[in-house]
């Protein structure tokens, strides 16, 4: 299976992106955007920022571990799913960084 970024429309009519690994596992989810084009630009920015150490932060909340990606303005633009341990979060981050250069976008064109 190929790593993909899916642009999805939520119940609130806003768009978000989801980065899936080679095996279909969700690695990262963007914050909601008002248009498909904004979500695509956010995904592209996230892929770029993933490779910059000072843009990725590991966190823990109620025993769950996750990481977030910040943009050049130090604002959060994406976050990983919650995991049970710091090693799992680190492994998901490493996988996201590995697949980022070869990811394929799905649903990237706005029909309007």
Total domain count, the chain: 1
Asked if residue 92 is part of any domain, the answer here is yes
The domain in which residue 92 lies consists of 4-106
Task: Give the pLDDT score at 2.
Answer: 81
* Token output for 39: 């979500």
Q: Higher confidence at residue 97 or residue 85?
A: 97
Count the neighbouring beta carbons within 10 Å of the beta carbon of residue 111.
Answer: 5
In a domain, 112, yes or no: no
| pLDDT single digits (tens) 27-78 | 999 999 999 999 999 999 999 999 999 999 999 999 899 999 999 999 999 9
Question: What predicted TM-score, i.e. pTM, was given to this entire model?
Answer: 0.89
* Contact in structure between 34 and 80 (CB atoms under 8 Å): no
Task: Encode pLDDT of 15-36 as tens digits.
Answer: 999 999 999 999 999 999 999 9
Q: What's the CATH code of the domain at 75? A: 2.30.29.80
């Amino acid at each position: 299976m190929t790593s993909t970024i899916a642009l999805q429309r939520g119940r609130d009519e806003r768009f978000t992106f989801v980065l899936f690994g080679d095996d279909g596992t969700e690695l990262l989810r963007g914050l909601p955007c008002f248009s498909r084009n904004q979500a695509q630009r956010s995904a592209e920015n996230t892929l770029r920022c993933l490779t910059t150490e000072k843009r990725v932060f590991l966190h823990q909340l109620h025993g769950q571990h996750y990481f977030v990606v910040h943009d050049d303005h130090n604002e959060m633009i994406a976050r990983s799913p919650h995991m049970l341990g710091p090693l799992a979060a680190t492994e998901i981050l490493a996988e996201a960084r590995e697949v980022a250069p070869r990811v394929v976008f799905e649903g990237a064109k706005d029909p309007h």
